[in-house]
């Protein structure tokens, strides 16, 4: 057991898998010698060799396409896209190829690839270093989309993703790489070391894909959220004084519908919180699932707290980012009726 921040946990997951399976290879822009712009792959090339952890040309479509080809051969490629904002050049390869390969070939070929990419805002990243593109992947049949919210989950989920025979989009909220961020940007950041989720086993362990975690039990309402917003939601709940259940979805799709339904049926009220912009965001799908599965248990309209339907602005970081105040307001509203 060691104390790790999220970067160290992600690094450890890859280190463990490199040692465990010679078919695991890791590549992306600046991931090799340099160890990644966020240090996620630091030391891995030195330890495991240049053919297992290496740098690539600046070409996201090429990174994903070659990963698919390697996966077809029988490797387990872990590809990094430096920022989720830059995954779009690879969209054709992910949507038209990786996600459909097993289906279109009648199960003859598949792409067991993991695509790691830092996502999310709250870092003054502006338009192209802050986006949360999860819903464009959850909409694609054949892809699994995952987002951890703490070091322990990050390692366990990443090991599961690497061992998964289906393509996995592994979104890493960069705002919480070093410590949980609760949205109070005016307060100093606390490091992961002060939180139990930073206690991470050194070796191999997995957290199953498709399973949510109840991070705070409660009875008054349910918050469905993931990534950085787990911490924002927990802060908002604490400040509200309400006994709210907070669910960290972890796997965004296929999503843990049983956990969602069990909680909302219990509380009768639901708030959905994500950074991504609202329209056609994952929140819309979650709302539909709640409506379909819990209609007779609902005591109030479901609320959504999300980014606005605008590109992510630079100067208006904290007006855009859905902070604890907005979550608290939604909780108050959902408790009204």
Partner 1 sequence: MDKSTPKHAQGPLSLHIPEPTARPGDAPDFSKLTIPPAGSQARPAADTPAAQLRDCAYDLVRVLDESGNAVGPWNPRLSPDRLRKGLRDMLLTRVFDERMIRAQRQGKTSFYIKCTGEEAVSVAQAYALDPKDMLFPTYRQQGLLVARDWPLVDLMCQIYNNTGDRLKGRQLPIMYSVRDVGFFSISGNLGTQFPQAVGWAMASAYKHDTRIAAAWVGDGTTAEGDFHHALTFAAVYRAPVVLNVVNNQWAISSYQGFAGGDETTFAARAVGYGLPGLRVDGNDFLAVYAVTQWAAQRARDNHGPTLIELFTYRAAAHSTSDDPSKYRPENEAEKWPLGDPIARLKQHLIRIGEWSEEQHAALTTELEEHVKTAQKEAESKGTLGTQPASPSTMFEDVFKDMPWHLRKQRQEAGY
Would you name the residues annotated as active-site residues? 60, 129
Angle between helices 257-267 and 282-294 (to 10 degrees): 60
Q: How far is the CB of 212 from partner 1 (least distance, A)?
A: 13
When asked if residue 142 is in the footprint of partner 1 (CB under 8 A), the reply is yes
When asked if residue 301 is in the footprint of partner 1 (CB under 8 A), the reply is no
When asked if residue 141 is in the footprint of partner 1 (CB under 8 A), the reply is yes
How many Cβ atoms from other residues are within 10 Å of residue 293's Cβ? 16
Which residue in 4, 101, 161, 221 binds partner 1 (CB under 8 A)? 101
When asked if residue 166 is in the footprint of partner 1 (CB under 8 A), the reply is yes
CB-nearer residue toward partner 1: 89 or 126: 89
When asked if residue 198 is in the footprint of partner 1 (CB under 8 A), the reply is no
When asked if residue 144 is in the footprint of partner 1 (CB under 8 A), the reply is yes
Closest CA to 78 of 107, 36, 46, 120: 36
> Which residues, 47 to 76, sit near partner 1 by CB under 8 A?
51, 56-57, 59, 61-62, 65-75
CB-nearer residue toward partner 1: 20 or 184: 20
Q: How far is the CB of 136 from partner 1 (least distance, A)?
A: 17
**# chain residues binding partner 1, by CB under 8 A:** 44
Q: How far is the CB of 30 from partner 1 (least distance, A)?
A: 15
When asked if residue 92 is in the footprint of partner 1 (CB under 8 A), the reply is yes
Q: Which residues bind partner 1 (CB under 8 A)?
A: 25, 51, 56-57, 59, 61-62, 65-75, 77, 89, 92-93, 96-97, 100-110, 141-142, 144, 165-166, 210, 254, 257-258
């Amino acid at each position: 057991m060691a104390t790790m921040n999220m970067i160290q946990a992600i690094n450890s997951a890859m280190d463990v898998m490199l040692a465990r399976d010679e078919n695991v290879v890791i590549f992306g822009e600046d991931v090799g010698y340099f160890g990644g712009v966020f240090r996620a792959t630091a030391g891995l090339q030195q330890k495991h060799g240049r053919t297992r952890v290496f740098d690539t040309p600046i070409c996201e479509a090429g990174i994903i396409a070659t990963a698919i080809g390697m996966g077809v051969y029988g490797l387990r490629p872990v590809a990094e896209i430096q920022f989720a904002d830059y995954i779009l050049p690879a969209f054709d390869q992910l949507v038209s190829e990786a996600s459909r390969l097993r289906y279109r070939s009648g199960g003859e070929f598949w792409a067991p690839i993991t695509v790691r990419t830092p996502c999310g805002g709250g870092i003054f990243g502006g338009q192209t270093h802050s986006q949360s593109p999860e819903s464009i992947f959850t909409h694609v049949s054949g892809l699994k989309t995952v987002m951890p919210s703490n070091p322990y989950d990050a390692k366990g989920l990443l090991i599961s993703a690497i061992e998964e025979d289906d393509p996995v989009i592994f979104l890493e909220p960069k705002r919480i790489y070093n410590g949980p961020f609760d949205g109070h940007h005016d307060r100093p950041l606390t490091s992961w070391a002060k939180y139990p989720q930073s206690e991470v086993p050194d070796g191999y362990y997995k957290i199953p894909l498709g399973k949510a975690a109840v991070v705070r039990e409660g009875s008054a309402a349910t918050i469905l959220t993931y990534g950085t917003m787990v911490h924002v939601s927990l802060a908002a709940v604490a400040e509200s004084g309400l006994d709210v259940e907070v669910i960290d979805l972890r796997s965004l799709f296929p999503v843990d519908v049983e956990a969602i339904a069990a909680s909302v049926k219990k509380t009768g009220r639901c708030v959905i919180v994500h950074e991504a912009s609202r329209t056609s965001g994952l929140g819309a799908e979650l709302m539909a699932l709640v409506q379909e599965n819990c209609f007779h248990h609902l005591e109030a309209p479901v609320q959504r707290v999300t980014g606005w339907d605008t590109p992510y602005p630079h100067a208006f970081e904290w007006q855009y980012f859905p902070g604890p105040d907005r979550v608290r307001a939604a909780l108050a509203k959902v408790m009204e009726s």
